[in-house]
Structure 1
Amino acid sequence: MNRTPRDRDTEGRARSARPRDGLGRPLPYGQEGIARQPEGVVRTPEETLVEAQRLLDAGMPFHAHEVLEDAWKSGPDDERELWRGLAQLAVGLTHAARGNPTGGAALLTRGAQSVATYASSTPHGIDVGGLTRWAQELAEELRRDAATVPAAGRAPRLGVSR
Structure 2
Amino acid sequence: MKTIRCLPGLLLFALLLLPPAEGHADGTMELSKGQTVYVPAYSHIYVGNRERPFLLTITLSIRNIDAKNPVTITAADYYDTKGKRIRKYLEQPVSLGPWESIRYIVPQKDKSGGSGANFVVEWSAEKGVNPVLVETIMIGAESQQGISFTSRGQAISTAH
* TM-score, with length taken from structure 2: 0.23
**The structure with more strand, counted as a fraction of residues:** 2
* TM-score, with length taken from structure 1: 0.23
